[in-house]
């Protein structure tokens, strides 16, 4: 009996030791910890020759503008050429114009932003898609 008890305790002890070693290894070599030691942040630096395609940047820009709570992107047009994003259209406030630009600047692969948005407030600014766009989307007035 004592032999059996010892053998199970021995494996349980090894299991705990093994767990402690794994935790120690994880703590020691966790990627967050490693960056603390190197002092450098290389995020955003891809392999040699890698550049994001304009199509991918376009998709991410449109999604980011659509997701941002302070941006009504229904009257914003987006064009991307060689990583440069062109924003054109109409927004109701200067803040929305600036927030749109700052949102786009943060996207990986964006080289520059040309913010050509025009601020028109009040009734002069049509909200939502214009008539031809509504027709294309199948939206009735």
pLDDT digit string (tens) for 70-102? 999 999 999 999 999 999 999 999 999 999 999
Residues 86 and 19 in one domain: no
Flag whether 47 is in a domain.
no
Q: DSSP letter for 107, please.
A: S
Flag whether 104 is in a domain.
yes
Residues 3-7 have a mean pLDDT of 51
Total structural domains within the chain: 2
Q: Is the pTM of this model over 0.85?
A: no
pLDDT at residue 66 in the model: 96
In this structure, are residues 83 and 54 in contact, taking their beta carbons and an 8 Å threshold? Answer: yes
Residues 25 and 79 in one domain: no
Q: How far apart are the first and last CA of the chain?
A: 85
Flag whether 46 is in a domain.
no
Q: Which domain holds residue 7?
A: 2-38
Residues 32 and 58 in one domain: no
């Amino acid at each position: 009996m004592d032999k059996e008890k010892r053998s199970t305790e021995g494996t349980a002890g090894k299991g705990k030791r093994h767990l402690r070693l794994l935790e120690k290894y994880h703590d020691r070599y966790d990627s967050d910890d490693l960056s603390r030691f190197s002092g450098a942040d290389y995020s955003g630096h891809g392999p040699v020759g890698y550049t994001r395609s304009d199509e991918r940047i376009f998709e991410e820009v449109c999604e980011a503008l659509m997701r941002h709570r302070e941006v009504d992107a229904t009257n914003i047009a987006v064009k991307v050429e060689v990583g440069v994003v062109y924003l054109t259209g109409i927004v109701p406030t200067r803040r929305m114009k600036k927030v749109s630009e700052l949102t786009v600047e943060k996207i990986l692969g964006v080289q520059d932003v040309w913010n050509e948005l025009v601020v028109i407030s009040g009734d002069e600014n049509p909200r939502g898609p214009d008539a031809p766009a509504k027709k294309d989307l199948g939206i009735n007035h």
